[in-house]
């Protein structure tokens, strides 16, 4: 029990450290503050163009989740490259801890930034566009958002492993964001996707997280979707940990760490 407690404390301490580190980058903070405003405005104009038939609260939640996806893809996709630029990658690889245990707090910190983006989007919708969220449903929305944040942090670990040997990870992240928006059901309902894409949607934790947050906002049962989101996050945690360790061992063996 003590080992579990110490591991949890180490994880939250490291995550908080990286959140503070990310907040020192003025350009990243500004981007995370400005982007949600644009997403919220787009959601509102889509609502107006559609004659007000679409639930505006759902659109705001979707716009916020779009910001979270962007933060994960860029934050997690470039995590190794940033450590190399800062001159800390060699120390991380030489530490006694597994590389995955070091990277997961960084990807979780990027996910927390994404969650802040979602919160800001919803606040902008409430203050500027008059969106109404039932106060009785806020606790459920917050719980679903926390689970989604942690699950997406685990998903970011796999993203970091996949992008780690790319010379320009940003070039891979940019074209992947919009398709993932579509497949995860953020922009359009999963039921509106073509049949072959629907099963793919269900392997993404964001799909379950979006469903849970929207169900909580509407006062509907959200625990099943939240449980599936947590379960998919655990799967990505194990798969991502394995993948990043494989990549690290291969890079050490071939002497390619400097190419990260």
Model confidence pLDDT, tens digit, residues 172-218: 666 677 777 778 877 777 777 788 888 888 888 888 988 898 889 88
Residue 130, helix vs strand vs coil = coil
Q: Extract the tokens encoding 123.
A: 């606040």
Distance CA(154)–CA(205), nearest Å, equals 9
Provide the mean pLDDT of the chain: 80
Q: Where are the beta strands (DSSP E) in 61-176?
A: none
pLDDT at 168 over 60: no
Highest mean pLDDT out of 137-146, 199-208, 223-232, 239-248: 223-232
User: Does 76 or 257 have the greater pLDDT score?
Assistant: 76
Band of the pLDDT at 255, cuts 50, 70, 90?
low
Residue 69's contacts (CB-CB under 8 Å, 6 or more residues apart) are 114, 177, 180, 181, 184, 186, 206
> How much is the pLDDT for 25?
73
| pLDDT average, residue stretch 86-104 | 78
pLDDT at 170 over 60: no
Residue 36's contacts (CB-CB under 8 Å, 6 or more residues apart) are 63, 64, 67, 117, 118, 120, 121, 124
pTM confidence score: 0.82
Q: In this structure, what are the phi and psi dihedrals at residue 193, rounded to the nearest 5 degrees? A: -80, 160
> How much is the pLDDT for 227?
94
């Amino acid at each position: 029990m003590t080992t579990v407690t110490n591991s949890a404390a180490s994880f939250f301490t490291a995550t908080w450290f990286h959140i503070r580190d990310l907040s020192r980058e003025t350009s990243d903070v500004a981007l995370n503050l400005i982007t949600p405003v644009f997403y919220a405005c787009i959601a509102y104009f889509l609502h107006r163009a559609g004659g007000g038939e679409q639930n505006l609260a759902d659109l705001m939640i979707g716009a916020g989740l779009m910001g979270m996806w962007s933060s994960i893809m860029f934050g997690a996709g470039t995590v190794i490259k940033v450590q190399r630029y800062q001159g800390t990658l060699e120390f991380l690889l030489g530490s006694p801890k597994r590389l995955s245990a070091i990277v997961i707090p960084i990807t979780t910190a990027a996910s927390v930034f994404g969650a802040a983006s979602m919160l800001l989007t919803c606040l902008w919708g409430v203050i500027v566009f008059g969106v109404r969220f039932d106060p009785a449903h806020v606790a459920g929305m917050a719980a679903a958002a926390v689970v989604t944040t942690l699950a997406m942090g685990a998903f970011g670990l796999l993203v970091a492993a996949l992008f780690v040997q790319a010379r320009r990870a940003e070039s891979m992240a940019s074209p992947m964001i919009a398709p993932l928006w579509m497949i995860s059901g953020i922009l359009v309902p999963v039921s509106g996707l073509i049949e072959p894409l629907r099963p793919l949607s269900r392997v993404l934790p964001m799909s379950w997280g979006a469903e849970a947050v929207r169900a909580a906002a509407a006062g509907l049962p959200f625990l099943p979707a939240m449980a599936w989101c947590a379960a998919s996050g655990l799967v990505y945690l194990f798969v991502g940990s394995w993948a990043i360790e494989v990549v690290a061992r291969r890079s050490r063996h071939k002497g390619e760490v400097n190419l990260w």
